[in-house]
Amino acid sequence: MLGPSSEKVIMSSEMLDIMVDYYNATYPENNFRKPFGEGPEDSIIIRVRMNQFGRCRIGSEIFGSKMSSRHVKSSFVTAKFITIDDDVDVYPGQVQYYFTHTVDLPNGPAKHFLAYVRWYKHAGSRNIRYYFSSDNDINTCNVKIWCTEFYQELCDCIIPVHHILSRFIPVNYRISDQRNAREYLAVNQINRKYHIR
């Protein structure tokens, strides 16, 4: 995790609810709740403080976030999710910030390195795929079209940083027909950089 950073940030009540849902989904054998919240007697009470970071290094790449206005261009990332029908789908989103959070599990404290990401909505029933090229260029660029709005903030907004697949370049793209025009987000993935010694 890299700066800018804010240490011992107190989470909002809404963020605590999201964290409880995240830990309940991640550790189904345990029960979690926020301080003074309702739940079973043997529930693990999660800590209310986290350390926030504006950037994160994964391998040899540095990923930015919305928290660091200087590095917002590298805050657009993709990650894989397993859908309800067991398909694997790649979703684009924008990292709001990276953070570390420690939870007290039965076998001792466990520190988690996480990212808080807002995910873009599908365009229509499934995302639309377009191929762009210039008039005199035979090379084409394969992009997917997504809505410019985000999904609601739920526990899916929290992912371990190592689940980040790649960065992408967001481009606003307008599609118009005879009746109306709608703006979409064209997502062009950037391949990860790997250095092998």
**Which of 154, 111, 163, 162 lies closest to 20 in space, CA to CA?**
154
Tens of pLDDT, residues 110-140: 999 999 999 998 886 555 555 555 455 555 5
CA distance 115 to 82: 18
**Which of 103, 97, 108 lies closest to 48 in space, CA to CA?**
103
What pLDDT is attached to residue 24?
A: 92
Cβ atoms of 153 and 60 within 8 Å: the answer is no
* DSSP helix/strand/coil, 39: coil
What pLDDT is attached to residue 138?
A: 57
What pLDDT is attached to residue 136?
A: 57
Going along the chain, which residue ranges are E strands?
2-10, 32-33, 44-45, 49-58, 61-63, 76-82, 88-105, 108-122, 128-132, 141-150, 158-160, 164-176, 181-190
Q: Ramachandran region of residue 8, left (φ > 0), alpha (ψ -120 to 50) or beta?
A: left
What pLDDT is attached to residue 141?
A: 61
Residue type, 144: K
What pLDDT is attached to residue 169?
A: 83
Cβ atoms of 97 and 119 within 8 Å: the answer is no
Number of Cβ within 10 Å of residue 109's Cβ equals 9
What pLDDT is attached to residue 23?
A: 93
Q: What is the mean pLDDT for each group of 10 consecutive residues in the chain (197 residues)? A: 85 92 92 83 89 88 84 86 80 93 92 94 64 55 79 90 87 74 78 57
